[in-house]
Amino acid sequence: MTKKKNQRLVFFGGIFLAATAAVALTLFALRGSITYFYTPSELIALAETPSSPIRLGGLVSTGSVEYVIAETGDVVSFTIEDGSADIRVNFAGLLPDLFREGQGVIVQGRMTGNGVMTADNVLAKHDENYMPKEVADALKEQGVWQDEESGS
């Protein structure tokens, strides 16, 4: 090889190594802030319950919403289902105005040792036709939810 080809090879190799290092450092820095999304079926199928914060999405089970007055404040307890499995969720705080039974919801929080999720945040749909994309995709895969526009 000529001297110019060697210089070019070293130059592009250096750029590749720098880019690889930048991506690795970025992923390392973000590892603590990544929140995985699960449906109840996927969460139950895991060999080990996640200890980090997660997002759980599905439909609020009809007849499952209970308001509990506790020493630490008011707690809302409800069940999220995906047609195959369900998970009980406890949430201390104000629910979104559009939260109701039979509707799509995503909650963010941690699993407790007894298989109940303690939610820090509850996200509900924003209009009559909206279903969170992650929830809709997961429910469509299981054949539970059908898109009204496409009929599938």
Mean pLDDT of all residues in 36-49: 88
Helices (DSSP H) in 31-144: which residue ranges?
40-45, 133-141
pLDDT at 151 (0 to 100): 45
pLDDT of residue 1: 65
Indicate the fold that domain 36-141 takes in CATH.
OB fold (Dihydrolipoamide Acetyltransferase, E2P) (2.40.50)
Task: Give the chain's mean pLDDT.
Answer: 84
50: amino acid identity, one letter: P
pLDDT value of residue 102: 86
Residue 147, pLDDT score: 57
Per-residue pLDDT, 107: 94
Q: Residue 89: pLDDT band by 50, 70, 90 thresholds? A: very high
- pLDDT higher at 148 or 141: 141
The Cα-based distances of 116 to 6, 52, 69, 76 in angstroms read 61, 14, 18, 13
Give the Cα separation of 71 and 105 in Å (integer): 27
